[in-house]
Amino acid sequence: MKNFLAISDFSSQEIQALLDLAIQLKKEFFASGNPPLFKGKVLGMIFQKPSLRTRVSFDMAMRHMGGDALYLSPNEIGLGKRESIADVARVLSGYVSILMARVFEHEHVLELAKWSNIPVINGLSDYNHPCQGMADALTIQEKFGNLKGINVAYIGDGNNVAVSLMHVCAKLGANFTIANPEGYGIPAKPIEIARQITRETGGGLKFLVDPEEAVKGAQVIYTDTWTSMGQEDEQAKREKLFPPYQVNSNLVAKADKDVIVMHCLPAHRNHELTDDVADGPHSVIFPQAHNRLHAQKAILARLLGVA
């Protein structure tokens, strides 16, 4: 493993092995603490967009395992503006051991990976959010044992989070369904990648418009913001279109009785997810957020070559 840029770059076996390592590291962390496998290693964290979970969970993952992390804000680096991405990558390669970047254009994280001679992790781009996808799969695996044959219904915008969730479901043989308003679906290219994966794994894929149809038999309901970072000028239009896709108690009642409700957070409460569902018995949104820490420890350990 040189970089961690997309779930689809890895085999099903590699993804499953990462999840199993995450479970092992999580158990170890709560039993006795993790050993200092990252001693002397520093993670450089480049952010072009705001973050709570990604920033803090990566920082703490490094600290728990004896390493350190450095936060580089949008204003400081000016990725591709103050300095070319290729130059930033080559300079940072001499200072830190590994990089994580949250960017607007996916091309920018690819460019960083191309020019750096240290590993690069994608901490969210406009295309995907693979670290989130791993934490999501970890959360589903903890609940159901594994993802094979699990019915996952994503309700809302076909965005970066939806792409990584679809790909991790495809890799692990889950049945992924999305319901989105017309024109707000997952783009054709990642769908084609998912189709290729499911030909091998037997996972299911369904692309619907009706949220009620999507949640029939669902063991997982997933939603995310209707307006992602960088789309703020579309917000008013989206707020008018998306209300039929709200995950509320009526929709949850139409799914499997033991359904879990997931959201990558930050949640826009009473927009895509109502308070009663977010704070109700089906919700796993906080354990899901906490799983970012454990999933990312596994990713870091693999990329740093210590596990």
Rg (Cα) of the chain, in Å, rounded? 19
Look up residue 293 and give its amino acid. L
Q: Which is it for strands 151-155 and 175-179: parallel, antiparallel or unpaired?
A: parallel
Q: Which does 52 bind (CB under 5 to 8 A by kind): ligand CP, ligand NVA, none?
A: ligand CP
Which region among 18-26, 113-121, 207-215, 221-229 touches ligand NVA (by CB under 6 A)?
Answer: 221-229
Distance separating alpha carbons of residues 302 and 297, to the nearest angstrom: 9
Q: Catalytic annotation on 264?
A: yes
Binding site for ligand CP (CB under 6 A): 51-54, 124, 132, 264-266
Distance CA 136, CA 54 (A): 14
| Contact partner, 224, from ligand NVA, ligand CP, none, Cβ < 5-8 Å per class | ligand NVA
Which helix (H) or strand (E) segment is 28 a member of?
helix 12-31
- Residue 224 annotated in active site: yes
Out of 103, 112, 150, 161, point to the residue binding ligand NVA (CB under 6 A): 161
From the list 129, 167, 271, 294, the catalytic residue is: 129
Q: 36 or 50, CB closer to ligand NVA?
A: 50
Token pair for 168: 């991790």
- Nearest CB to ligand NVA, comparing residues 219 and 228: 228
Q: Is 128 in the site for ligand NVA (CB under 6 A)?
A: no
**Chain CA centroid to CA 9, Å:** 14
Binding mask 82-121 for ligand NVA (x = CB under 6 A): ----------------------------------------
* Catalytic, out of 167, 224, 246, 296: 224
The whole-angstrom separation of Cα 161 and Cα 30 is: 28
User: Sheet holding 68-72: strands in order across?
Assistant: 68-72, 42-47, 98-102, 120-122
Q: Please answer whether residues 62 and 178 qualify as being in contact, where contact means their C-beta atoms are separated by less than 8 angstroms.
A: no
Residues 177, 151 contacting (CB under 8 angstroms): yes
Encoded tokens for 237: 């239009």
Q: Which is nearer to ligand NVA, 23 or 229 (CB)?
A: 229
Q: Which of 93, 151, 225, 296 binds ligand NVA (CB under 6 A)?
A: 225
Give the residue numbers annotated as catalytic, written as ranges: 102, 129, 132, 224, 264, 292
Q: Which residues bind ligand NVA (CB under 6 A)?
A: 124, 159-161, 224-225, 228-229, 264
